[in-house]
């Protein structure tokens, strides 16, 4: 490497000074100098010259390294994947890298030569945010972050994250160093997701409204049929053939009602709106009630039923009607897939002190191991021999599992294979058995209300339902006046005195809830709601309106008669707290 003298280098100056001092110390030419001294001085000069050359090369290398570092710095600065901008205390742009200039829509040469304020590129709605951001950065001395909208020279807006820090310049002035990260694409994705979420929620709401309306429209015409069938079956002198035909019609009506219930329950489960009305519940009692409902189907197939309810702890914190729904579905499932003359076993046990196990075993067609993995999925149905398709929608087990898990329990299925039966196991946490209620015997001993003393106002816009229920209630001894809408109900209540109003919720000219509030205030009427709408929201609305009972259609006369007696008993006892009893159609079979 060719050496070049660096006059300004302190090391070279020092060497020259030492060489001059050495030369001055040599004897003057007038004095006799030995050849040895001259040679020694020349050797030292050559050494100094060599040292000078080495140090000069080192300085050149250092300068080259500094220049290369500067190039690397500016290369990283220019090619950084974020926008880099330096501002002075006035907010003017001192320099910007390539991406920073692009984000502002400006030519980099202009940004680095002509002072421009960064605020001119900030959207007007973000001016305050940016100014507060710089003030915070200056005050804290730490890196601060904000997000705002920028508008480039072409007017296009982008959403960016700005991170700023204070650093001193070569002139010892405080400058702002900003990094800009473009979040526009991320924000657009978030906005699209938010829109999709809103649309999905709207779709769920629409679906719930649709199924609610569908339920109402399907249930309403079933009420007169159920009531008439019950009335016809109760008439004396019916032949066994007539009774069998009536029972057949009732079973098929119940089947349609259960399908409606399953569709509504599915919407609650998928929408996360399944609600439980928890209380200390006797699982053995729920099982007996479910078995009683299924007994006609068990007898029809001549199935052997073994019941061993041996669990010492059989009380749980649960919703009695929902637990009965689980057991009803599992028993019906066993009946459906067990051939004539087969066997069904229902057993309870407490293998653990705080856990109750309820097991349902059958000797039916069994389940192949592969379908077991999907057994609890909605609409899934096992294809059995000869590709025969089971009846129903394939919702019962999925709903049962959801209800069980809502109780904090588990529902599992097992089978040794086709033709080897199946076992379903429900496990629930137990609670202590409650003390016997002191008011129980008194309530049981209370005298039922005299029907002939009770005056009822029946409000129902469905003509067949209104006529059938009015006739059946009159036949039971009640004094009934019927109205087809809210206006007729107001007229009747102003002309006559009533003890109780029984009203549909969805009337053509008003809501049954509003009607009860009005008549309850004017005439101190208590009410029973009857409706095809049976969601938890519907029940809550009827409770809030003052209805003491909410009966879900289809309603038979016996269920309505029982509800009337309960309301009268509450009135006698002076209990003004509203308690809603949802009479599920599956429990009225």
pLDDT digit string, tens, across residues 554-573? 887 888 888 898 888 877 66
Give pLDDT, residue 70.
66
pLDDT at 388: 46
Q: Is there a cis peptide before residue 539, judged by omega within 30 degrees of 0?
A: no
Query: Residues 308, 332: one domain?
Result: yes
Do residues 174 and 495 touch, judged by C-beta distance below 8 A? no
When pLDDT is averaged across residues 17-30 and rounded to a whole number, the result is 60
Instruction: Give the CATH number for residue 548.
Output: 3.40.50.2300
CATH number for the domain that contains residue 316: 3.30.565.10
Residue 98 in domain: yes
Residue 223: DSSP 8-state: H
Which position has the higher pLDDT, 374 or 146? 146
Q: Do 286 and 367 fall into the same domain?
A: yes
State the first-to-last Cα distance of the chain, in angstroms, to the nearest integer. Answer: 107
pLDDT of residue 221: 83
Same-domain status, 423 and 283? yes
Q: Are strands 355-362 and 422-429 parallel, antiparallel or unpaired?
A: antiparallel
pLDDT at 14 over 70: no
pLDDT digits (tens, 9 = 90+) for 138-158: 999 899 999 999 998 888 899
The pLDDT value given to residue 357: 94
**Confidence (pLDDT) at 529:** 92
Question: What pLDDT, on a 0 to 100 scale, did the predictor assign at position 168?
Answer: 79
42 and 84 part of one domain: no
How large is the average pLDDT for residues 104-119?
80
pLDDT, greater one: 301 or 44: 301
Structure tokens at 586: 């599956």
- Which pLDDT does position 2 carry in this prediction? 39
The CA-atom distances, in angstroms, between 64 and each of 58, 69, 563 are 10, 9, 99
Strand partners, 430: 316
| Predicted local distance difference test score (pLDDT) of residue 1 | 37
Query: What integer pLDDT is reported at residue 503 of this predicted model?
Result: 93
pLDDT tens column, 483-508: 999 999 999 999 999 999 999 988 99
CA distance 552 to 91: 70
In a domain, 2, yes or no: no
Q: Does the structure show a pLDDT above 80 at 321?
A: yes
> Model confidence at 342, in pLDDT bands (50, 70, 90)?
very high
Query: Do residues 286 and 159 both lie within one domain?
Result: no
Which of the listed residues 51, 78, 105 is the one where a domain comes to its end? Answer: 78
- E strand or H helix at 457, and its extent? strand 455-459
Averaged pLDDT, 385-407: 71
List pLDDT tens digits, range 436-470: 543 433 344 455 566 767 899 999 998 888 998 99
Would 254 be classed as within a structural domain?
A: yes
Domain stop point among 182, 209, 234? 182
Q: Is the residue at 436 inside a domain? A: no
**Across 19-23, 280-284, 332-336, 427-431, least confident range:** 19-23
Q: Is 470 a domain residue?
A: yes
- In this structure, what token pair is assigned to residue 498? 């009533």
The reported pLDDT for the residue numbered 19 is: 60
Q: CA–CA distance from 55 to each of 15, 19, 22, 162 (Å)?
A: 11, 16, 20, 46
- Name, of 69-78, 114-123, 390-399, the range with top average pLDDT: 114-123
- Say how many C-beta atoms besides its own lie within 10 A of residue 479's C-beta: 15
Residue 189 resides in a domain = no
The pLDDT value recorded for residue 439 is 40
The answer on 123 and 65 residing in a single domain is: no
The enclosing domain of 88 has a CATH number of 3.30.450.20
- Domain extent, residue 56, equals 10-78
Q: Tell me the pLDDT tens digit for each residue of 39-93.
A: 777 887 888 888 888 888 888 877 877 777 666 666 667 777 888 898 998 889 8
pLDDT on residue 308: 95
Task: State which of 375, 397, 429 marks the end of a domain.
Answer: 429
- The pLDDT of residue 274 is above 60: yes
Range 310-323 average pLDDT: 91
* Residue 589: predicted pLDDT: 37
The closest of 533, 536, 481 to 512, measured between CA atoms, is 533
Do residue 73 and residue 97 come from a single domain?
A: no
Residue 36 and residue 168 in one domain: no
Question: Given pLDDT bands bounded at 50, 70 and 90, which one contains residue 523?
Answer: confident
Is residue 575 very low, low, confident or very high in pLDDT (cuts 50, 70, 90)? very low
Of the chain, the percentage scoring pLDDT greater than 70 comes to 83
Q: 212 and 262: one domain?
A: yes
Query: Does some domain include residue 205?
Result: yes
Same domain, 287 and 247: no
137 and 255 belong to one structural domain: no
Q: Is 434 inside a domain boundary?
A: no
In this predicted structure, what is the pLDDT of residue 220? 81
Average pLDDT, the chain: 81
Measured CA to CA, the distance from residue 404 to residue 395 in angstroms comes to 14
**pLDDT beyond 80 at 182:** yes
Highest mean pLDDT among 113-117, 239-243, 247-251, 380-384: 239-243
CA distance 249 to 226: 9
Residue 114, judged by CB atoms within 10 A of its CB (0-12, 13-18, 19+), counts as exposed
Confidence of residue 363 (pLDDT cuts 50, 70, 90): very high
Looking at mean pLDDT, say which of 7-16, 213-222, 423-432 comes out highest. 423-432
Kindly state whether residues 458 and 504 are assigned to the same domain. yes
For residue 164, pLDDT over 90 is answered with: yes
Asked whether the predicted pLDDT for residue 371 surpasses 90, the reply is no
Q: Give the total number of structural domains in the chain.
A: 4
Task: Kindly list the distances between the CA atom of residue 161 and the CA atoms of 129, 148, 558, in Å, as whole numbers in the listed order.
Answer: 12, 7, 69
């Amino acid at each position: 490497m060719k050496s070049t003298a660096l006059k300004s280098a302190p090391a070279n100056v020092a060497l020259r000074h030492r060489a001059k001092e050495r030369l001055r110390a040599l004897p003057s030419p007038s004095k006799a100098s030995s050849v040895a001294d001259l040679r020694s001085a020349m050797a030292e000069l050559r050494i100094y010259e060599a040292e000078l050359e080495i140090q000069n090369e080192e300085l050149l290398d250092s300068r080259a390294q500094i220049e290369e570092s500067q190039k690397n710095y500016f290369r990283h600065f220019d090619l950084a994947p974020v926008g880099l901008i330096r501002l002075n205390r006035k907010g003017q742009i001192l320099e910007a890298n390539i991406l920073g200039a692009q984000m502002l829509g400006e030519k980099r040469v202009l940004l680095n030569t002509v002072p421009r304020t960064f605020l001119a590129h900030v959207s007007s709605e973000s001016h305050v945010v940016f100014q507060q951001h710089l003030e915070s950065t200056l005050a804290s001395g730490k890196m601060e972050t904000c997000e705002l909208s920028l508008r480039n020279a072409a007017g296009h807006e982008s959403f960016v994250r700005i991170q700023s820090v204070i650093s001193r310049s070569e002139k010892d002035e405080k400058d702002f160093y900003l990094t800009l990260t473009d979040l526009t694409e991320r924000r657009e994705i978030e906005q699209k997701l938010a829109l999709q979420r809103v649309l999905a929620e709207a779709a769920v709401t629409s679906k719930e409204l649709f199924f609610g309306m569908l339920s109402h429209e399907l249930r309403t015409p079933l009420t007169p049929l159920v009531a008439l069938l019950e009335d016809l079956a109760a008439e004396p002198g019916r032949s066994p053939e007539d009774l069998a035909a009536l029972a057949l019609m009732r079973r098929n009506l119940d089947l349609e009602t259960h399908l409606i219930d399953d569709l509504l329950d599915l919407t609650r489960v998928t929408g996360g709106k399944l609600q439980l009305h928890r209380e200390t519940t006797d699982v053995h009692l729920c099982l007996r009630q479910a078995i009683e409902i299924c007994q006609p189907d068990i007898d029809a197939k001549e199935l052997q039923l073994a019941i061993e309810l041996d669990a010492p702890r059989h009380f749980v914190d649960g919703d009695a009607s929902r637990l009965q729904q689980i057991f009803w579905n599992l028993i019906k499932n066993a009946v459906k897939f067990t051939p004539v003359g087969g066997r069904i076993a229902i057993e309870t046990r407490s293998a653990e002190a705080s856990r109750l196990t309820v097991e349902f075993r059958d000797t039916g067609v069994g389940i192949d191991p592969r379908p077991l993995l999907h057994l609890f999925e909605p609409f899934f149905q096992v294809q059995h021999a000869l590709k025969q398709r089971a009846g129903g929608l394939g919702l019962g087990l999925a709903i049962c599992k959801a209800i069980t898990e809502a109780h904090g329990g588990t529902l599992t299925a097992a089978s040794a294979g086709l033709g080897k039966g199946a076992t379903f196991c429900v496990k629930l946490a137990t609670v202590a058995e409650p003390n016997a209620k002191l008011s129980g015997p008194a309530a049981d001993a209370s005298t039922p209300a005299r029907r002939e003393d009770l005056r009822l106002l029946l409000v129902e816009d469905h003509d067949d339902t209104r006529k059938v229920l009015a006739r059946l209630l009159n036949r039971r001894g009640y004094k009934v006046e019927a109205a087809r809408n809210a206006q007729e109900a107001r007229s009747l209540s102003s002309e006559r005195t009533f003890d109780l109003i029984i009203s549909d919720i969805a009337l053509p000219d008003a809501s049954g809830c509003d009607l009860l509030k009005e008549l309850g205030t004017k005439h101190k009427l208590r009410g029973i709601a009857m409706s095809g709408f049976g969601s938890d929201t519907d029940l809550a609305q009827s409770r809030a309106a003052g209805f003491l009972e909410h009966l879900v259609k289809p309603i038979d006369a016996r269920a309505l008669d029982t509800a009337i007696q309960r309301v009268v008993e509450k009135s006698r006892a002076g209990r003004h707290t509203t308690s809603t009893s949802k009479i599920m159609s599956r429990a009225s079979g």
